[in-house]
């Protein structure tokens, strides 16, 4: 029995893995193991022999079992130590910045524009992107037969068959927000309305979805002079220059009278735009005095109130300020493009902190 004990305790302590240990368990104390076979021999012994051999065998079996358990635990500890060494990680290292997304130039420019107009007392108004033809056209003095409807390359929504009401449209400009704001708050008004607009057009400078910012100021004595000052202040602040020259070109919009398109003096030097100097002019917006019929359509008395409105392309002024040549790239969702032209997430534009 002492030989068996020495043999197995030796083998167990030398076992290098759990599989070897299991083999040893089967050999020693398994059903047909050496110790189990010895126990079966007890029956052939005399009662006296059995009295000493029985307890001794049981004790040996118990000793081997606990040696097996202890070795198993030791092997498991060793395996865990091995893993911990292999998978070691210094959790005290500083985090690694994962600069995935950035602020899109359109969002940045919208924030810049909002900050500049907020400084001049303009609040932000909003309207739906899917609107009725009343808000998008008729209320703005663009009747059904008016050529402007065709010029706008309008996207029409579907009506159910048999429903003969005029279909809703994807708004072709932000001007319907003029009507909604006048209806909602009445005069006086000083708002801008930035947002998405839609026209069926696609080339280097046109995408079917783009962005405009509408401006609307209504009071008792607002004139074109106020419009001119506000736009000059805006352009100076936006392009971060001390002086600009604006050119008001007589134009026509059904919802303003008189109407003007506004250009800024600029030059192109080796492909980059310089605002405020040079011999070129660049159109940036449409504007005018709100047509009396439009005021009336929105429930504002034209004998009492008057004001100006303008509509400016956000994408266009973003391209100009940040030197982005192709409008289509704005909406490709290409991360490489965004990393090149995008803005840091915490770099919120403010007039005191700097716009861009
Ligand atoms: N809605 C016009 C356009 O999209 C711009 C505009 C707005 C013109 C307000 C005059 C007044 O072209």
- The pLDDT confidence band at residue 266, using thresholds 50, 70 and 90, is confident
Give pLDDT tens digits for 158-174: 988 899 888 899 999 99
Average pLDDT over residues 268-294: 88
- Go through the chain and tell me how many residues it has: 356
Highest mean pLDDT among 305-309, 329-333, 352-356: 305-309
If you average pLDDT over residues 14-34, what whole number do you get? 91
Q: What is the pTM of this model?
A: 0.71
Atom of ligand 1 nearest to the CA of 286: 8
pLDDT the model gives residue 99: 65
> Which of 307, 151, 168 is CA-nearest to residue 227?
307
Residue 215 is predicted with a pLDDT of: 98
Mutate to test the pocket of ligand 1, among 193, 311, 313, 317 (most ligand atoms within 8 A of CB): 311
CA of 343 to the centre of ligand 1 (A): 29
* pLDDT of 277: 83
DSSP, collapsed to helix, strand or coil, labels residue 73 as helix
* pLDDT for residue 89: 85
CA dist 331 and 317 (Å) reads 16
Q: How far is the CA of 313 from the centre of ligand 1 (A)?
A: 10
* Residue whose CA lies nearest to ligand 1 atom number 12: 286
Residue 154 in contact with ligand 1 by CB distance below 6 A: no
CB-ligand 1 contact for 288 (6 Å cutoff): yes
CB of 141 sitting under 6 A from ligand 1: no
| Listed residue (135, 147, 167) closest to 254, CA to CA | 147
Tell me which residue has its CA closest to atom 7 in ligand 1: 311
Residue given tokens 């990680």 in the structure block:
89
Across 16-30, average pLDDT: 91
For atom 9 of ligand 1, the residue with the nearest CA is 310
More confident residue, 53 or 285: 285
* Residue 68 token pair: 């097996």
Which tokens is 239 given? 């392009």
Ligand 1 center to 175 CA (angstroms): 6
**212-218: average pLDDT:** 98
Q: What is the mean pLDDT of residues 15-28?
A: 91
59-63, 101-105, 235-239, 298-302: least confident range: 101-105
* Whole-number pLDDT of residue 284: 92
User: Of ligand 1's atoms, which has the minimum distance to the CA of residue 178?
Assistant: 9
33 lines ligand 1 (CB under 6 A): no
Calculate how far, in angstroms, residue 254's C-alpha sits from the geometric centre of ligand 1: 9
Residue 285 pLDDT more than 70?
A: yes
Over residues 24-37, mean pLDDT? 90
Pocket flag, ligand 1, residue 256 (CB < 6 Å)? yes
User: How far apart (Å, rounded) are the C-alpha atoms in residues 234 and 317?
Assistant: 12
Under 8 Å between Cβ of 74 and 19: no
Q: Which atom of ligand 1 sits closest to the CA of residue 172?
A: 4
Ligand 1 geometric centre to CA of 66 (Å): 90
Most confident of the ranges 43-57, 106-120, 263-277? 106-120
User: For residue 339, how many other CB atoms are within 10 A of its CB?
Assistant: 12
Which tokens go with 17? 């893995």
Reply yes or no on whether the pLDDT at 338 is more than 70.
yes
pLDDT per residue as tens digits for the range 64-85: 999 999 999 999 999 999 999 9
Q: Which pLDDT score, from 0 to 100, does residue 356 have?
A: 67
For the chain, counts of helices (H) and of strands (E): 12, 10
Residue 151 has pLDDT above 80, yes or no: no
Give the DSSP letter string of 295-341.
HHHTT--TTT-EEEEEEEEHHHHHHHHHT---GGGGGS--HHHHHHH
| CATH homologous superfamily for the domain 103-344 | Bira Bifunctional Protein; Domain 2 (3.30.930.10)
Does residue 227 register a pLDDT over 90? Answer: yes
Distance 3 CA to ligand 1 centre (A): 105
Instruction: In whole angstroms, give the CA distance from residue 198 to residue 169.
Output: 9
pLDDT in tens, 94-128: 887 766 678 899 999 999 999 999 999 999 999 99
Say how many Å lie between the CA of residue 311 and the centre of ligand 1. 4
- Segment 28-33 mean pLDDT: 89
Q: What are phi and psi of 288, to 5 degrees?
A: 160, 180
Burial 317-331 (b: 16+ CB within 10 A, else e): bbbbbeebeebebbe
Q: Specify whether the CB–CB gap between 108 and 143 falls below 8 A.
A: no
Phi, psi dihedrals of residue 243, rounded to the nearest 5°? -135, 140
Per the CB < 8 A criterion, the answer to whether 319 and 109 are in contact is no
User: What residue segments make up the domains of the chain, in order of their start?
Assistant: 2-87, 103-344
Write out the H or E segment, with its range, that includes residue 246.
Answer: strand 246-253
Confidence of residue 328 (pLDDT cuts 50, 70, 90): confident
The C-alpha atoms of residue 209 and residue 202 are separated, in whole angstroms, by 9
Q: How far apart are the CA of 193 and the centre of ligand 1, in A?
A: 12
Probe ligand 1: pick from 170, 253, 258, max atoms within 8 Å of CB? 253
Q: Identify the helix (H) or strand (E) that includes residue 259.
A: strand 256-269
């Amino acid at each position: 029995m002492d030989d068996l004990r020495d043999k197995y305790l030796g083998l167990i302590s030398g076992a290098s893995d759990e599989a070897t240990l299991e083999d040893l368990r089967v050999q020693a104390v398994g059903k047909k193991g050496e110790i189990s076979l010895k126990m079966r021999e007890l029956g052939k012994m005399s009662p006296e022999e059995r009295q000493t051999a029985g307890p001794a065998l049981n004790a040996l079996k118990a000793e081997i079992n606990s040696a097996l358990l202890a070795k198993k635990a030791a092997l498991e500890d060793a395996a865990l130590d091995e893993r911990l060494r292999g998978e070691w990680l210094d959790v005290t290292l500083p985090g690694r910045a994962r600069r995935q997304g950035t602020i899109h130039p359109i969002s940045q420019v919208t924030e810049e524009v909002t900050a500049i107009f907020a400084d001049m007392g303009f609040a932000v108004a909003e309207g739906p992107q899917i609107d009725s033809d009343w808000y998008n056209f008729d209320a703005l003095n663009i009747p059904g037969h008016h050529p402007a409807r065709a010029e706008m390359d309008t996207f029409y929504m579907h009506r159910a068959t048999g429903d003969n009401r005029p279909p809703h449209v994807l708004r072709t400009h932000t001007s319907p927000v003029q009507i909604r704001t006048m209806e909602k708050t009445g005069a006086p008004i000083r708002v801008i309305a930035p947002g998405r607009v839609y026209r069926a057009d696609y080339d280097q400078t046109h995408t079917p979805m783009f962005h405009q910012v509408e401006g609307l100021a209504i009071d008792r004595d607002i004139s074109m002079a106020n419009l001119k000052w506000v736009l000059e202040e805006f352009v100076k602040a936006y392009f971060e220059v001390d002086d600009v020259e604006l050119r008001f070109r007589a134009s026509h919009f059904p919802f303003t009278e008189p109407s003007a398109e506004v250009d800024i003096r600029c030059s192109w030097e080796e492909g980059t735009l310089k605002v405020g100097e040079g011999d070129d002019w660049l159109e940036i917006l449409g504007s005018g005095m709100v047509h009396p019929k439009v005021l009336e359509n929105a429930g504002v008395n034209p004998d009492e109130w008057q004001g100006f409105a303008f509509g400016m392309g956000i994408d266009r002024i973003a391209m100009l300020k940040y030197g982005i040549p192709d409008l289509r790239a704005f909406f490709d969702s290409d991360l490489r493009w965004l990393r090149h032209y995008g803005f840091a997430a915490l770099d919120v534009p403010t007039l005191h902190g700097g716009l861009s």
